[in-house]
Structure 1
Amino acid sequence: MNRTTLSLFAGTAALAAVTAFAAFDPPAASGADSSAKAAAELPVERTSLLCPAPSDSEIADTAYTSFTPVTQGTDGGGKAGLQAATEQSAGDTADPTGGAAKGKSGKKTADKPVLTPKEPGTPATGDTSGSEEPALIGTADGKFAPGWTVQETTEVAAGTGRGLLGVNCTPADTEFWFPGASTSADRTDYVHLTNPDDSAAVVDIGLYGKDGAIKSTVPDGFTIPPHASRPILLSTLTEQRQDDLTVRVSVRSGRVGAAVQALDDKAGGDWLAASADPSGSLVLPGIPKDATDVRLIAFTPGDADADLKVRLASSGGAITPAGHETLHVKAGMTIATDLGAVTRGEAGSLLLTPSDRSVPVVAALRVVRGKGSAQETAYIPATAPVGRRATAADNSGKGTTLSLTAPTATAQVKVTASAGSGGGSPVTKTYTVRQGTTQDITGLAGQGVQGTYALTVETVSGGPVYAARTLTATESGVQGFTVQTLPNDRGLVAVPEADEDLSVLQK
């Protein structure tokens, strides 16, 4: 995914322009003066997030949870909120000509906010139900902006995609990769596109299967009107039916938020979040220890093949799955391989590293729990490390598992469970994650916590840490689950110190 870089001018006055789209770790300057002062890390002042329309099921129940971790250096003002996308399409496909969207306008949601955050450090929650709830566009500023996180969690009791579906609302961007989508007969996959800006966005959707690029029935792309959201059914873009696809969303003009809703007729469904940027090495954390089937889908967008070593970071150390030591990914083609019950009852994360030369790859896991009619599905994309801090909202006392993995070096990690949305006290604990291992942590809630709570994960020392959070809930005898990765929350931005130099005015 592309990352917008931050332009810095003299002085710290430029901080007012900082948004959640600013990069957390800017590249080091080549040949920098050794006398230069270290950059200060200051909280961002504005964050924008986009939440897709939750479901087209009449029996869907959706919970939204907002949370901002307490961050030093913020002022006392600010607010956060979610507003309905004002032009919402309810049809199976979007009109590529950019005509008026059909369906619910979101007026009910706009008249009454879904949720109203009151203070950082305490979650705010809201509920909706039914099939016509719109996509949401969220903004937070001041003390609510640094690390602002919104989770959308939906329970569907029956029908295609039944189970627990969860997604982190994300910033707008200009490119997304989704390995793990499908146009097979038993799948109903939509890519949801949300435009937060005042001008239209023009978006191309590319599909890549086992034999390479697939010709689309909509070659001219899609126009997403301002402040609008559209679900696009992938099977309408091609006549080919393939079990495993990689979807590329690229924006010709403007920005969008993007997520794929992957719904199976028999095995439940979930949201498929975008993979981390193409890279030679990838980490896919938080495979549930009771997973009955794990399928790896990978794609390389360049013109060179990739050869990858496949390892599992288990609770006891890094191991090579028998029969799956390596993976060959042909250039421009999607490859899928079944790893089976690879975790064998232990916590696990998948590590992909180059066998020889490094070739950029994107990847995701399709994870199944249960058997027969009790199957449920979730997705784990490759993700970025926690870095300084990551945040996950909407956790419950018995239904949450936090997975931490340190692929290259032992690390210390501080985990804070916030106060609950209905009361209780926060609690902080520090964990040591050994090199090449994955550690599952449960029972994280503090004393007297009521309602839902948030988790804040901070790297204290050691190597990079990757994290994921699993939620579970039982509905109609089926144990639903959803997994969200925890990349850096981009709540802080590096701002170099600058001294006034009036000599530039004399030149």
Structure 2
Amino acid sequence: MKSTYLSLIAGTVALAAVTGFAAFTAPGDADADGAKAAARLPVERSSLLCPAPGLSELAETTYTSFTPAAGGSGAAGIAELKPSVSAATDASDTAAGKSGKKSKKADSDKPAVSLKKSGKPATADASGSDAPALVGTATGALAPGWTTQQTTTVGVGASRGLLGVSCTAPDTDFWFPAASTAKSREDYVHLTNPDDTAAVADIELYGPDGSLKSDVGEGITVPARSSVPVLISTLSSTAADDVTIHVTTRTGRVGAVVRAADEKTGSDWLTASADPAGTLVLPGIPADATDVRLVAFAPGEDDADLKVKLLGKNGAISPAGHEDLHIKSNMTTGVDLKNLTRGEAGSLLLTPAQSDRATPVVAALRVVRGSGDKQEVAFIPATGPVGAQATAADNRAKGSTLSLTAPGATGTVKVTASAGSEGGARTVKTYTVKGGTTLAVTPPVPDGLKGSYALTVETESGGPVHAARTLALPENGIPMFTVQTLPDDGGTVEVPRAEQDLSVLDD
């Protein structure tokens, strides 16, 4: 019986190690079915990875780090982003001698961005083409909902544009529709490893005719706490306008994001699509979009047939000539929807053509504003609902638009504008989004705002709401903009309750 008793103690300790706590409930806490309801608790640790923004000597980058005021555990915690240690820099340090390596280590130990408290953003700036990728961790009260926005402006040159990305959490599987190996494009996959051991990743490319065969994309080593950019046109000799990128890891985990640059329309970051699903929502198409291209991919063995609808201010419409979309298995499909919004902001809804046959797909939009040599591009991947909470970290006094979409039932959300990074008091506003519509609003601005601020969206009632934030910072007559989707930030997790049962001690 002694060994059984020790096993019980060991099991309890293991539960505490995994979840950060061990909760015991009395039998009366069970639900009607006798099962113990899982508790939703704030996470105690978060990780974020920001890709290297270095595009040009003229690049100006701002980092905005933020945790909503609700916070997590009582522990104060930390939230810091530090420079990654790239393999290329290590090699040059080795050539320079031992003192060079020490200097690099010292630089990588110094935070590039440090958040001291929740409810108020912290900012930092970087200039030029040699700004590194960042690897970050938040703990304690700063972990739940921790968000960091990386915003880069390049005024001229092949990489010109406003490039925005919400720094991503590490994972093992990513899908990127709307990439390209066309001669006019220069698309890089940035792989960043947050851990102290090397990760090994594979990159697969799929064009309109299926897989683009290449051995070069297999077994890519991403050294510990380092970042590796991969030019996808070097992985295949096939030039294709529409390509889907699939990134997986054999060992370890990485953050993955694509920097897409076009000779004519500029550049921006493309983040991963939501996981393959039968129904997808792509929110936040600007009202003045001059060209919208939908790129979709069916990763399974079955073809997909979808209904395409634009959810606008007053309801849903089907784009003329593109009401239906057929996607062949493992082949990328691109459809030019042109200026489908026609002056009214909207969101795209993809649903199965037959409700009893939902084939999982991934999708993203390539959106262009402006005309001629004054065009600018941004990307909108399919995304999940805001759920409990989602945040866009970098907003200015002018230039932000918040798009809220309710693809099913009417939903209500609360939007909180945080205190400003340099001053100002937070403000709150509630919006109700009618089912089957998109509501595009100028979001609330903190009273007495100085600096930048964060927007946090929380579901209050009704059906799920999907959201995206557009940041527009025009320059030199170019309508520069970037769009970030706002899926649930994962600030809370379900933790199963444990019940003390001494009967296991009986032999």
* Aligned ranges 1:121-140 → 2 under 5 Å: 121-140=119-138
The one of 324, 328, 331 equivalent to 1:330 is: 328
* Aligned ranges 1:256-267 → 2 under 5 Å: 256-267=254-265
Match of 1:168 in 2: 166
> CA offset at residue 204 of structure 1?
0.7
* Aligned ranges 1:23-172 → 2 under 5 Å: 34-71=33-70, 73-89=72-88, 110=108, 112-172=110-170
> CA offset at residue 461 of structure 1?
0.7
Separation in 1, partners of 2:84, 2:54: 15
Q: Which amino acid aligns with 1:424?
A: G
Question: 2:233 matched to 1:229?
Answer: no
Deviations 1:138-174 (A, max 9, x none): 0000010000001101000111131100111111111
Match of 1:448 in 2: 448
Match of 1:97 in 2: none
Does the 8 Å contact 1:85/1:106 carry over to 2? no
Deviations 1:471-494 (A, max 9, x none): 011222212100000000111111
Does the 8 Å contact 1:11/1:499 carry over to 2? no
Give SS of 1:143's match: helix
Q: Residues 72 and 60 (structure 1 numbering): CA distance in 2 closer, same or farther, change over 3 Å?
A: closer
Give SS of 1:477's match: coil
Separation in 2, partners of 1:173, 1:74: 25
Total equivalences in the alignment? 476
Give SS of 1:327's match: strand
Give SS of 1:448's match: strand
> CA offset at residue 220 of structure 1?
3.5
Separation in 1, partners of 2:264, 2:339: 19
Does the 8 Å contact 1:300/1:329 carry over to 2? yes
Q: Which amino acid aligns with 2:222?
A: I
Match of 1:370 in 2: 370
Does the 8 Å contact 2:200/2:221 carry over to 1? yes
Give SS of 2:360's match: coil
Match of 1:428 in 2: 428
Deviations 1:410-440 (A, max 9, x none): 0011000000001101011111000000011
Match of 1:205 in 2: 203
Does the 8 Å contact 1:280/1:358 carry over to 2? yes
Q: Residues 228 and 164 (structure 1 numbering): CA distance in 2 closer, same or farther, change over 3 Å?
A: same
Match of 2:178 in 1: 180
Separation in 1, partners of 2:109, 2:498: 45
Match of 2:482 in 1: 482
* Aligned ranges 1:238-277 → 2 under 5 Å: 238-277=236-275
Q: Residues 74 and 204 (structure 1 numbering): CA distance in 2 closer, same or farther, change over 3 Å?
A: same
Does the 8 Å contact 1:88/1:135 carry over to 2? no
- Which 10-residue stretch deviates more, 206-215 or 114-123? 114-123
Does the 8 Å contact 1:397/1:443 carry over to 2? no
* Aligned ranges 1:373-412 → 2 under 5 Å: 373-412=373-412
Does the 8 Å contact 1:217/1:236 carry over to 2? no
Q: Which amino acid aligns with 2:372?
A: G
Match of 2:460 in 1: 460
Q: Which amino acid aligns with 1:137?
A: V
> CA offset at residue 443 of structure 1?
4.3
Separation in 2, partners of 1:12, 1:340: 58
Q: What is the TM-score of this pair, normalised by structure 1?
A: 0.90
The one of 182, 187, 210 equivalent to 1:189 is: 187
> CA offset at residue 70 of structure 1?
1.7
Q: Residues 434 and 493 (structure 1 numbering): CA distance in 2 closer, same or farther, change over 3 Å?
A: same
Does the 8 Å contact 2:311/2:349 carry over to 1? yes
> CA offset at residue 106 of structure 1?
6.1
Give SS of 1:59's match: coil
Deviations 1:183-225 (A, max 9, x none): 1111110000011112111111000000000111415321111
Q: Residues 498 and 365 (structure 1 numbering): CA distance in 2 closer, same or farther, change over 3 Å?
A: same
- Which 10-residue stretch deviates more, 475-484 or 430-439? 475-484
Separation in 2, partners of 1:12, 1:281: 41
> CA offset at residue 235 of structure 1?
0.8
Deviations 1:59-106 (A, max 9, x none): 100000100002255214211101111125489xxxxxxxxxxx9x96
Does the 8 Å contact 2:284/2:467 carry over to 1? yes
Q: What is the TM-score of this pair, normalised by structure 2?
A: 0.90
| Greater helix content | 2
Deviations 1:227-269 (A, max 9, x none): 1100000111111111110000011111011000000112111
Match of 2:500 in 1: 500
Match of 2:415 in 1: 415
Q: Which amino acid aligns with 1:179?
A: P
Q: Which amino acid aligns with 1:461?
A: S
Match of 1:470 in 2: 470
* Seq. identity, %: 61
Match of 1:23 in 2: none
Deviations 1:446-473 (A, max 9, x none): 2101111101101111111100000011
> CA offset at residue 13 of structure 1?
8.0
Deviations 1:246-305 (A, max 9, x none): 000011111011000000112111000000000000000000010000000000001111
> CA offset at residue 109 of structure 1?
5.0
> CA offset at residue 35 of structure 1?
2.4
Give SS of 1:110's match: helix
Give SS of 2:503's match: helix
Q: Residues 300 and 442 (structure 1 numbering): CA distance in 2 closer, same or farther, change over 3 Å?
A: same
> CA offset at residue 107 of structure 1?
5.7
Q: Residues 333 and 81 (structure 1 numbering): CA distance in 2 closer, same or farther, change over 3 Å?
A: same
Match of 1:3 in 2: none
Separation in 2, partners of 1:494, 1:425: 32
Larger radius of gyration: 2
Give SS of 1:57's match: coil
Q: Residues 444 and 411 (structure 1 numbering): CA distance in 2 closer, same or farther, change over 3 Å?
A: same
Does the 8 Å contact 1:391/1:456 carry over to 2? yes
Q: Residues 496 and 111 (structure 1 numbering): CA distance in 2 closer, same or farther, change over 3 Å?
A: closer
Does the 8 Å contact 2:217/2:235 carry over to 1? no
Match of 2:341 in 1: 343
Separation in 2, partners of 1:340, 1:85: 40
Deviations 1:340-399 (A, max 9, x none): 111111120000000021000000000000000000000000001111111110101211
Separation in 1, partners of 2:482, 2:19: 32
